[in-house]
A and B are shown apart, each in its own frame.
Chain A
């Protein structure tokens, strides 16, 4: 190493006391036309290579999104390596095939039998946390801002304990949001930017409320659907028609968007990273409209509106996101000792799965 930085010796500057808060808006500079070209070229290459290029395509697209997301004039950086993603995908495909073949060879273990269900549950409860932790680690350690990486310090054991403790809630459908809350809390608490850990304040109420409101909206939405079914039933004694199917699909889509927006707000508004906190003010109805119009546009254009849909969604999210710092952002110091070694990184990159935070 031939670096000799003079400033390196200076001790970290103490944070200014009682400095006025500074707001840093998040800017997203990605453009639909530009991204369309990236998307279509990478898609064509993926198809030409029978899918092998998909890992490179994914990295390329992610790097574009990250490079066009700015805070305080500096953009994010995505460092994921395509080979690691490819390996992860091949393993995932292998597991899927094993599942299919296994299901056919051992029908007594299929999901319709009790043994099969129990087995699936056990595998999901043990393997699930491992996959969540791995993918969070992968995504965090490959995200950097100002050359300082995020880190996820959660462990399989920690995540497993959370799952074991709360997984029963899943079986009582209406309590599922609380399980999700615990999982998201675990994930958020174990993130760090450099050496600074995320501190997570209370966000249970707004998080659960998002689901409760969505549930209420769903009940309201059920009314026109039932009216529709009855009206159709009176016209002719037909089975649930395409229209009803379409109606319920749309309903679920809208509720999903609503929950997405509100829970994302809830989590980010509760996170502190040292002197930095966040303000996330996405509106449920905006997000519902974005999702609905995205799906409409994608279907009408046979998929070719996908880049536009992705870019406008990211732009909206950035617009509603603000970083609030009690001082200049330069104060962070990366924890060198915590850097994952090359071998460790390899394992961390084995699986690339997105688990939405």
Chain B
């Protein structure tokens, strides 16, 4: 028989009565001052235990007994199984520690992996139309309020649109890309992508004086955001984060929303950083596809960074801002740059480009067309530097590697026809090469026809030379800058003399 002291409340008044309860034959016998009754144990409902608090026994009819938890426990073993289990977990530190580890592991997994994965999966199932609607919504918030129509000249705008069409050509990923040129003084030099495919480029960014391929890089970066559906995924991840933080710090939310908002904002900026990197990677890939160097993009990033207010100081703020520190992004873009990219990038000095071409060729990892183009570029640079001997070798190698670039035929033919070095000149080969160049360009390039004329003159065929030179001079494509030189050459041929470049 178990017996214990308890407090009795009849459920009608707040009067407290001290009683003695004894359990016998499946019944509880309650006795105290003015109280004497018994009740079947099965009819008694025992609240699940609360640590450090008395156990409450509910009697039929609304009365209750309160007693020491330990003394009551054996009577109600097997009831409230779930709550009893939870209470056991709650009362021991090792379980609490286990729960702590579990939560930390779960939360970090959700933040680092789960949410991005889920957002990606969900974004893939959201129809493009709905995504575009979100973009339109965002656009309407910007139009007129923050941004006005572009103030660039129509020529500049056309050039940018052409550039953009080149960047999106052949992507075929279901997004309806369009470039919106806007004047947004409050945003400064900026470009951003809206879900669905609208890409906004500010006049302020166009005006900081980057190269055309630098702007291409920026556009490719924004296209990368659209392709990756980063805007939509950002929205979804934000919602998920808020749900997670609210669950974890739910009790704190009752205290204030700050404790919930701040971590959400910080984690969000981490996601944004990841998306920026992905978009950068796409930009670099896309630029390389189109034969542009990632360095142009890196240079553009540096330029944008300098144009922003605050310059250096603003970097410290980047921890809270959404764009990763620019220096790091520039480094990434440059790290992606290969010798071959440097070889082809006009923004570099000739010495560095020749060195880059040489190491790209020496590494022996270039594909056929790339090898031909590396030789051709090195040859052209050396020709420009006056190193005709090396230029001839490189251009020959370019042709041997399968180049069909009329520029290569043209430059080589020009050297063979007009070099001041007697050993280099070869009239027959010059004629042959210049003819191929003319055929490749369908005699539409006056510059190439000019070369064929020079080759004929070198071979002593002055009648042909004069006829071809006149044709070149009549071409509507003639660059007026070369008009004077070309007419001087015509005079030379008419007087029966070939043209020679001045020795350097």
Contacts and interface: CB of A to CB of B under 8 A. Distances in A.
B247 A47 contact: yes
Interface string B255-269: 110110111000000
Interface of B: 7, 9-17, 33-39, 47, 50-54, 56, 59-64, 82-83, 86, 89-93, 95-96, 98-100, 102-103, 106, 130, 133, 245, 247-252, 254-256, 258-259, 261-263, 309-310, 313-314, 317, 320
Contacts of B252: 294-295, 298, 303, 306, 309-310
B247 A147 contact: no
Given A12-B13, A40-B100, A60-B86, A6 B262 contact: no
9 contacts: A2-B39, A37-B92, A41-B89, A237-B309, A238-B317, A242-B317, A304-B100, A310-B252, A332-B13
Contact of A7 (B34, B38, B47, B245): B34
A302 to B, nearest CB: 7
Given A242-B317, A298-B249, A309-B252, A40 B96 contact: yes
B256 A64 contact: no
A63 B50 contact: yes
Q: How large is the interface on A (under 10, 10 to 19, 20 to 34, 35 or more residues)?
A: 35 or more
Contact of B309 (A238, A302, A303, A304): A238
Given A3-B63, A6-B36, A47 B13 contact: no
Interface of A: 1-8, 12, 29-31, 34, 36-48, 51, 54, 56, 60-61, 63-64, 67-68, 74-75, 77, 104, 145-148, 194, 235-238, 241-242, 249-250, 253, 256, 291, 294-295, 298-299, 302-304, 306-307, 309-310, 313, 329-334, 336, 339, 354
B60 A44 contact: no
B51 A34 contact: yes
A294 B255 contact: yes
A41 B86 contact: yes
Contacts of A310: 251-252, 255
Given A39-B251, A295-B252, 16 more contacts: A5-B10, A5-B34, A31-B52, A37-B51, A37-B92, A38-B51, A40-B99, A147-B10, A236-B309, A237-B310, A238-B310, A241-B317, A242-B320, A294-B252, A298-B259, A303-B248
A41 to B, nearest CB: 5
A354 B253 CA distance: 12
A47 B103 contact: yes
Nearest to B319: A242
B259 A299 contact: yes
Contact of A336 (B12, B38, B54, B83): B12
B9 A147 contact: yes
Q: Which of A34, A37, A68, A302 is the most central at the interface, judged by chain B CB atoms within 10 Å of its CB?
A: A37
Contacts of A75: 53-54
A249 B258 contact: yes
Given A2-B38, A51-B247, A148-B14, A37 B50 contact: no
A41 B99 contact: yes
A299 B13 contact: no
Contacts of A194: 14
A249 B262 CA distance: 10
A236 B310 contact: yes
Contacts of A56: 82, 86
Contacts of A146: 9, 14-16
- 8 residue pairs, one from A and one from B, having the closest CB atoms: A147-B9, A7-B34, A67-B53, A44-B99, A146-B14, A37-B96, A6-B34, A330-B15
A41 B90 contact: yes
A236 B313 contact: yes
B91 A37 contact: yes
Contacts of B39: 2-3
A147 B11 contact: yes
B63 A147 contact: yes
B91 A45 contact: no
Nearest to A44: B99
B15 A7 contact: yes
A87 B106 CA distance: 26
A237 B314 CA distance: 10
Contacts of B255: 291, 294-295, 298, 309-310, 313
